Amino acid sequence: MPSDKQEVRQAGQELLERVERVMADVDWSHFLELTQMLRKVKRIFVTGAGRSGLVARMFGMRLMHAGLTAYVPGETITPAAGRGDLLVAISCTGSTGYTDYLARRARQFGAKVVVITSEGDSALTRDADHVVLVPTTAEDIVTRAAVFEHAAGLCLDAVFDVISEKLKLDIAAFQARHANLE
């Protein structure tokens, strides 16, 4: 009989293998397009619900570290969105009502919308100017969402790395923007 430690290790290994398979199937040209868009817009808004929202917040923090102007809708210091802005909406299923609502609102105000999802044909993708697929599949939504969130986070960290290189972000600039009230 396997020990609890072995069971947890095995579960972790299976999750890692699933994430690696998804990363191997990502069409990186879509993330490259996102990278180029991010450098051309005035402001970036990042959103998602639940754990996808946490991935969005992590990405927004990275954008700020790179010296870009990023906000999270719903926060008290978030300004109005409009022309020249970009909303990055993250949702595994592409059917999260809150995220879709924000995408539609952003478009109404003239902002561009990028959707990061595992569902290429969903309500959210129909409201997008650009769709980035993170091709996750699983028999149950819990596993599928977990793999999506980990893979999406890694892909967006890769976007940050490329932006940092293109913007010639050095460690001193990064450290100057890093939180110090912690």
Q: What is the radius of gyration, based on Cα positions, of the chain?
A: 17
Structural contact between residues 55 and 72, judged by C-beta atoms closer than 8 angstroms: no
Q: What's the rounded Cα separation, in Å, for the pair 10 and 18?
A: 12
Strand ranges for 64-129 from DSSP E: 70-71, 85-91, 112-117
Helices (H), 26-139: 28-38, 50-65, 97-108, 123-126
Q: What's the rounded Cα separation, in Å, for the pair 53 and 68?
A: 19
* Cα torsion 126, 53, 60, 108: sign: positive
DSSP type of residue 39: T
Is position 149 annotated as part of the catalytic site?
A: yes
With CA atoms as reference, report the closest residue to 38 among 19, 63, 13. 63
Q: Which of 119, 149, 165, 182 is catalytic?
A: 149
- Which residues carry out catalysis? 149
